[in-house]
Chains A and B, each alone.
Chain A
């Protein structure tokens, strides 16, 4: 008996240590200097908590448990190591969905068990299951969209009413399970409804809004984990889940704010639908050759480079840095201008540029760099579109009106490297491309950067 009590104390003490390591780990991750150590602290916490959990009294099925951990761990390890830096966002969505699914599975086992949890814990189990299941299927849809497996934003009339009814049906079924103690069939229906809800919620959301959605699901998974933690009386799950839930909610708001939109707007409005005909752009796009661009940049005083998702897709970051070094050797002042939502996640561009070896001191935020555009000889835009669209400043009828943008149109010359003439991810025409001082360099980002390198070298 006393042995069991001391075993429990050991488990509780280890969870306490794990919770502290998680919090300090996250704290360290919030500064560039200590970030690397932060993940190691949090990782140590995870190892301690997992190992000690094998010691729980009255448990069995260890072979199954080890097998599941082994398969899941190896698959995730392999995919995480192998994935290209540009594909990070969808991997985060995938792993996050797995966490939500695990929380839903815990809820399912608890509810199937037929044990009476009482009103409070029953409600928490059902809520955690609902949120976890939505996060699971929603994150998988987000993964499929970013991976390019699902191209269309699936919409139909009355979709929001449909989603609302679906949510209501799920909540009513969940309420029934708590109050009346539902049988297995009811629980199955409940989880199916929640899974479908996650899919129908995410389907209509456009790819440009995906970072916000992934961050939201990240926060939701945290919350689901915390709720299931209360049901299982597991302090490590409660604290880690709640911290992530709160941190993730704040992060989601920061991202939505950077796009000048509310979270409700991201979730419930079909982006770009109403702005279809508005804001006709006049003029024509004027093409230019790489050789001319090379001359312009090589003899400029100041060049500002604005990277976007197109650079990530083309894997052009290494070539861009090589080009930057060449220009810097010639005495050109080269700086990178990063929009907060450039790419598919905040900081996405910073990660890629860091990978290529671009030092911090030439990478600038929107606020810092915007006043410099009027003095720049060349603004080179690589695969960015909506974040430099001046329509956001001028046209109140545009769906992106009011979004803070990089003022690339104020530069003396603007060069846009772009694959084709189509509109950007949001489907909005970019007025910048039609301006008098804008030239279009058509081609793949990496191929064009290589050409520019060769041309600059040949000068």
Chain B
């Protein structure tokens, strides 16, 4: 079980990591990074899958289905958009050399 102070510690440490990761980023990467972090919270898909997998009533099934649909959209869309953005960064970088 992840609860009580263990949960708080995980929360605190992860928050520090998030803060550190963004801390010294040049402004030009803000948009791709926002897009990238948008992709990372697409992990919500996993939770939605578990919620749908354990749903019993019709109401739960419907909401669970919507949840998985939305989560998959977040993960896939976030990846495609971020990848497209960063691809251009690389090509211009190489052209530079």
Contact = CB atoms under 8 A, between A and B. Distances in A.
A445 B54 CA distance: 55
A30 B80 contact: no
B19 A61 contact: no
Contacts of A355: 88
A154 interface: no
A112 B49 CA distance: 16
Interface string A22-45: 110111011111011011101100
Contact of A30 (B33, B66, B91): B33
A106 B7 contact: no
A71 B23 CA distance: 37
Nearest to B53: A59
A36 B40 contact: no
A29 B50 contact: no
A350 interface: yes
A99 B36 contact: no
A244 interface: yes
Contacts of A242: 10-11, 14-15, 18
Interface string A358-383: 11110101000000000000000000
A29 B32 contact: yes
Contacts of B51: 105-106, 109-110, 232
Nearest to A91: B81
Q: Classify the secondary structure of A's interface with B.
A: helix
A241 B73 contact: no
Contact of A98 (B26, B71, B87): B71
Contacts of B52: 61, 64-65, 68, 109
Contacts of A95: 38-39, 42, 73-74, 77-78, 81
A243 B17 contact: yes
Interface in A1-59: 18, 22-23, 25-27, 29-33, 35-36, 38-40, 42-43, 46, 49-50, 53-54, 56, 58-59
Interface residues of B, number: 84
Interface residues of A, number: 119
Contacts, number: 376
Contacts of A79: 77
A237 B73 contact: no
Interface in A199-246: 214-215, 218, 221-222, 224-226, 228-230, 232-246
A39 B67 contact: no
| Most chain A Cβ neighbours within 10 Å, of B14, B41, B60, B96 | B41
A260 to B, nearest CB: 15
Nearest to B80: A80
A105 B70 contact: yes
B54 A58 contact: yes
Nearest to B46: A53
B73 A30 contact: no
Nearest to A220: B41
B92 A359 contact: yes
A96 B93 contact: no
A36 B90 contact: yes
6 contacts: A32-B89, A42-B36, A64-B61, A68-B65, A95-B39, A351-B32
> Which 4 A/B pairs are nearest by Cβ-Cβ distance?
A105-B67, A246-B18, A59-B53, A80-B80
Given A56-B49, A244-B18, 15 more contacts: A29-B86, A46-B43, A60-B54, A61-B61, A64-B65, A73-B73, A77-B77, A77-B80, A99-B38, A109-B51, A225-B47, A232-B51, A236-B46, A347-B30, A357-B95
